[in-house]
Amino acid sequence: MADIIDGKTIAEDVIARVKQEAATLAGSGVKPGLAVVIVGEDPASQVYVASKSRRAKECGFHSVQHSLPADTPEDALVALIGELNADPAIHGILVQLPLPGHIDAGRIIQTIAPGKDVDGFHFINVGKLGTGETASAFVPCTPAGAMLMLERVRGRDLSGLNAVVVGRSNIVGKPMANLLLAANATVTIAHSRTKDLPALARTADILVAAVGRPEMIRGDWVKPGATVIDVGINRVAAPEKGEGKTRLVGDVAYAEASANAGAITPVPGGVGPMTIAMLMANTLTSAFRAAGREPPAF
Ligand SMILES: NC(=O)C1=CN([C@@H]2O[C@H](COP(=O)(O)OP(=O)(O)OC[C@H]3O[C@@H](n4cnc5c(N)ncnc54)[C@H](OP(=O)(O)O)[C@@H]3O)[C@@H](O)[C@H]2O)C=CC1
Ligand SMILES: Nc1nc(=O)c2c([nH]1)NC[C@@H]1CN(c3ccc(C(=O)N[C@@H](CCC(=O)O)C(=O)O)cc3)C=[N+]21
């Protein structure tokens, strides 16, 4: 049976470090500030945003949340981001995705000052990650968290290992592939047009699933001893819990995959909590830079 890579515990370790380091910044007269912006009333997004704000407070941050109605005009959102960009008390800005259809998410992301883009989605940060300038970039939280989990079982240097990333989104798949490459893994990115995905997956020493399809990756796709990182968060019906009840599952068929894997991340309690912890770490990093101090490494 596979070892379980416990995201909750690793996330608590990260948060404890963030808290401690934030306290040392007080001496420089800087309190890390995080602004989270949500447009509309998607219930899942509201849950995530609430937990981001709660964690920020727990870290001793200045935490502000802007909840805007679903019909907010794009220009009003651009204006709000302009104010947050100019506010010296704010070091990190996160605009929760997805945005309502009438808003151009691409334009909104490029409006955020790259130095406050703690999601790491701005072209400047994407470019820095792609060219290895990570000392001054923000790395997207989900892949950064996944790398910390991987480090617990494989170390920091992935030389000689084959990594397969299933999914090529800008927020997970592509930055994940870049981080694996930077750690010297041999990386393949798979997607919906990939031929014979099960056979490709079986070549992976490190298998990352970021697809958004409940339990798509089966146990016999997993090479014996492989490390499996399941990024998927899918809410599915759970009639066994009662009528109308749901539960969360990943993109990997967990029970089957754990029979083959050497180590695996669970859902929930895996990459999800790490994402929020890395958001706090990125906000702390931004505040250290604002204070002219070298940020701690995570
Ligand atoms: N834990 C966390 O903190 C986070 C979790 N997530 C979760 O991760 C998952 C992925 O999210 P995200 O990257 O935003 O999703 P996207 O929908 O943006 O991307 C999904 C990717 O999966 C590929 N894909 C879809 N179907 C198949 C298939 N049958 N075979 C192979 N590849 C396929 C798509 O390929 P193509 O490009 O060809 O269409 C696409 O590249 C979701 O479950 C999401 O909820 C997301 C963000 C954070
Ligand atoms: N600008 C932006 N940045 C994001 O990072 C971002 C986003 N938009 N939009 C949505 C996705 C998704 N995401 C998650 C964060 C935490 C959990 C998480 O904590 N999950 C818990 C369970 C939570 C639950 O019970 O629903 C877990 O997996 O254990 C999940 C998903 C961040 N995202």
For 206-252, how does the pLDDT look when each residue is reduced to its tens digit (9 = 90+)?
A: 999 999 999 999 999 999 999 999 999 999 999 999 999 999 999 99
| 184 phi-psi bin (left φ>0, alpha ψ -120 to 50, beta other) | left
Ligand nearest to the CA of 234: 1
| pLDDT, tens only, 42-74 | 888 998 999 999 999 999 999 999 999 999 999
Ligand 1, atom nearest to 142 Cα: 3
Do the bridges between strand 186-190 and strand 234-237 make them parallel or antiparallel, or are there none, so unpaired? Answer: unpaired
What are the φ and ψ backbone dihedral angles of 34, each rounded to 5 degrees? -120, 130
Number of domains in the chain: 2
What CATH number does residue 216 fall under? Answer: 3.40.50.720
Dihedral of alpha carbons 96, 98, 104, 109, sign: positive
Structural domain contains residue 228:
yes
Ligand 1, atom nearest to 166 Cα: 32
What CATH number does residue 85 fall under? Answer: 3.40.50.10860
Percent of the chain with pLDDT over 90: 97
Same domain, 269 and 145: yes
pLDDT at 80: 98
54 lines ligand 1 (CB under 6 A): no
Q: Which of 114, 131, 153 corresponds to the end of one domain?
A: 114
pLDDT at 104: 98
51 lines ligand 1 (CB under 6 A): no
The band of 158, judged by pLDDT with boundaries at 50, 70 and 90, is very high
Same domain, 42 and 104: yes
Q: Where does ligand 2 bind, in terms of residues with CB under 6 Å?
A: 47-48, 94-97, 119, 141-142, 233, 248, 267-270, 272-273, 275-276
Same domain, 151 and 261: yes
Q: In angstroms, what CA-CA distances link 17 with 20, 126, 249?
A: 5, 26, 29
Structural domain contains residue 242:
yes
The closest residue, in CA terms, to atom 9 on ligand 2 is 97
Average pLDDT, the chain: 97
Structural domain contains residue 68:
yes
Same domain, 147 and 219: yes
Same domain, 178 and 266: yes
- How far does the centroid of ligand 1 lie from the alpha carbon of residue 169, in Å? 6
Residues at the binding site for NADP(+) are: 167-169, 233
Same domain, 206 and 91: no
Same domain, 109 and 150: no
Name the pTM for this structure. Answer: 0.98
The band of 82, judged by pLDDT with boundaries at 50, 70 and 90, is very high
Give the pLDDT mean for 272-279. 98
Structural domain contains residue 59:
yes
Percent of the chain with pLDDT over 70: 100
* 252 strand-pairing partners: 217
Ligand 2, atom nearest to 51 Cα: 19
Same domain, 246 and 184: yes
Can you spell out the DSSP letters for 199-218?
HHHTT-SEEEE-S--TT-B-
pLDDT higher than 90, residue 27: no
pLDDT at 44: 87
Structural domain contains residue 278:
no
- Domain enclosing residue 180, as ranges: 141-273
- How far does the centroid of ligand 2 lie from the alpha carbon of residue 47, in Å? 9
* 189-221: burial string, b at 16+ Cβ within 10 Å, e else: bbeeeeeebeebbbebbbbbbbbeebbbbeeeb
Structural domain contains residue 61:
yes
Structural domain contains residue 55:
yes
